[in-house]
Amino acid sequence: MTAIISLLIVLVVSLLIVRIATVALTLTGLSKPVARFQARSAFTGTGFTTAESEQVVQHPVRRRIVMLLMLLGNAGIVSAVATSMLSFTGAENTGLFSQNMLVLIAGLFLLWIFATSQWVDNRLSRLIGWALTEFTSIELRDYAGLLHLTGDYIVAELNVNSHDWLCDQELKDLRLSDEGVLVLGIERQDGAYIGAPRGEHRLYANDRLLLYGREEVLSNLDERRRGAAGNREHQESIKRQAELEQGERGVDVIGSAE
């Protein structure tokens, strides 16, 4: 029975470690789903996808978090496997195999409820976030929260192709801001990066753009092709954005009157 309890304790500690790492990665600017996946992947040693692993490897704080997760994960998994083997080997000798199995299943069921509870996740994440910002010297920022990445607004990458409406034009001529789109950065084909680009910057084929705006607009922009059809879509998008802003101003006026 002691071995079963030890195994459950190891699993609880493992869940807490992954949860803490998830919150820490989120505070460095990763979205919560990506941070959760990266934390679990690093802790279990299963690896991660190429694009997301670059986001971790190129960021010094994220890199330290993932390295620590790998070390703790190896120790935790080995301990859990060894404890399980000892508990069931001893149980076979003493005739307590069924009892140990019931205790283990009940414990795993409670852990599953704990791990999947949204109520627990929200409160634990707030507590961990407060502790990390209060007691660590690492400068962390929740960029998803700062950019208000909720509802329709997202940050997305867009690859510029030679036949795209965006290609071979300067930003000032594209008037993307009139569509409610902000260009946060441009990554050139040779790896050069332009942060907060200005109007005179020209877009070329194989550029990668970092954009902020409504998901519907960014999706349309990604599919927009050069020519008269692309120009019409641009004008229609500007019109929809103007209507949206007018509606938002109307709501603000009503709210102020109340």
Whether 166 is in a domain gets the answer yes
What's the rounded Cα separation, in Å, for the pair 79 and 113? 23
Token pair of 215, please? 């998901």
Give the range of the structural domain holding residue 174, as residue numbers without chain letter.
Answer: 147-257
Q: What is the pLDDT along the chain (258 residues), one digit of tens a residue?
A: 566 666 667 677 777 778 888 877 777 777 777 778 888 777 777 665 556 666 676 666 777 777 777 777 665 555 555 555 555 555 555 556 666 677 767 777 777 777 677 777 777 777 877 776 676 655 555 555 556 555 578 888 899 999 999 999 999 999 999 999 999 999 999 989 999 999 999 999 999 999 999 889 999 999 999 999 999 999 999 999 999 888 876 655 445 555
125 and 161 share one domain: no
Final residue before a domain boundary, out of 106, 135, 164: 135
CA 172 to chain centre: 31
Q: What does the alpha-carbon distance between residue 166 and residue 188 come to, in Å, rounded to a whole number?
A: 14
Residue 111 shares a structural domain with residue 214: no
Residue 101 C-alpha from the chain's centroid: 37
Q: Where are the beta strands (DSSP E) in the chain?
A: 153-159, 169-170, 182-187, 193-195, 202-203, 208-214
Which pTM was predicted? Answer: 0.49
Domain match, 184 and 106 both:
no
